[in-house]
Amino acid sequence: MSRVLSVAAESFPIAGTFTISRGSKTEADVITCTIAESGRLGRGECVPYKRYGETMESVRAAIELARRAIEAGASRADLLELMPAGAARNAVDCALWDLEAKTSGIPAAAKLGPAEPRSLETAYTLSLAEPEAMAAQARANAARPLLKVKIGGDNDIARIRAVTQAAPNSRIILDANEGWTEANVAGNLALAAELGIALIEQPLPAGADEILARIPHPVPICADESVHVAADLDALRDRYDAINIKLDKAGGLTAALELRDRARALGFQLMVGCMVGTSLAMAPAVLLAQDAEFVDLDGPLLLARDRQPGLAYEGSVVAPPSPELWG
């Protein structure tokens, strides 16, 4: 029986407003790919990201360009040649993983390793705002063990102090989303070390981060926008201590596994992160993140409405996906 590919655009409301240094949004706009074969359905979700030149329309068009090959039976390995890294390939790749699991009866987790997947502690993200508002967010979530704090503006020192004072028992990741400069990065790093920050994510713009090779790292620094696929890693070895793997950047779980293994070989710590999407997008990432030092898969916690069934969250702990959801 031949395959049938379907592609849908969907929107899920965010609980409130999600703000980073590049702007704000109130909805998570996603593309869902479904591949039907032999009475089984495989699904994958991606989040087009403007920072990388993606739109809902361009991602959908990229999937349509590969439709004939996908419906003719293209494998996940074939996709690595058919489609470039990015959100479009992620949706198709994850749909194929899900389809393989549904068709074979072998869960995706079993293909990734012998150990049963475990529940993981995820970071919870606080949106960028003025220091007082960020302190209020931190206070409301001070019982969570790991907070990811969006910064990247002129008042970051006040923000960092406000958040650490409001959530004194939480480990904190600072995510500048490329918002710092060569003039303030050393001072901000020093303050972060003084306040016990656990990790700093992408302080400087990708391609303008050479100074990170010349200044001390009193807090580990994690590449996000600077790293998409395994081929990016060699150039980052003297600048970053960790990398953030996102399926939408890598272009699917298949490429993300290659990125993970190469990063480990080079000595990087790992974070597995996400765009703001639903449980369908997080599910394969939960399996990828089983041995990561940092997990940031809180997308569904930021939504006013998730898919059903979705991932099971208990506080900041997320359980592996059920077969009904994915894999």
* Average pLDDT of span 50-56: 95
Element (H, E) at 236: none
pLDDT of residue 211: 98
The CATH number of the structural domain formed by 4-111 is 3.30.390.10
Q: What is the pTM of this model?
A: 0.96
Q: Is 315 left (phi over 0), alpha (psi -120 to 50) or beta?
A: left
> Exactly one of 50, 102, 111, 246 is catalytic; which is it?
246
- Among this protein's residues, is 50 annotated catalytic? no
- Would the CATH topology of 4-111 be identical to that of 113-318? no
Task: Specify the amino acid at residue 166.
Answer: A
Q: What angle do CA 216, 217, 218 make, to 5 degrees?
A: 105
pLDDT of residue 154: 84
Q: CATH classification of 113-318, choosing from 3.40.50.300, 3.60.15.10, 1.10.150.20, 3.20.20.120? A: 3.20.20.120
Q: How confident is the model at residue 1 (pLDDT cuts 50, 70, 90)?
A: low
pLDDT of residue 105: 96
What is the domain partition of the chain in residue ranges?
Answer: 4-111, 113-318
Q: What angle do CA 299, 47, 20 make, to 5 degrees?
A: 60
> Exactly one of 50, 111, 148, 150 is catalytic; which is it?
150
Q: pLDDT tens digit string along 242-299? A: 999 999 999 999 999 999 999 999 999 999 999 999 999 999 999 999 999 999 999 9
Mean pLDDT of the chain: 96
* Average pLDDT of span 150-173: 95
- Among this protein's residues, is 249 annotated catalytic? no
How far is Cα 89 from Cα 66, in angstroms, rounded to an integer? Answer: 9
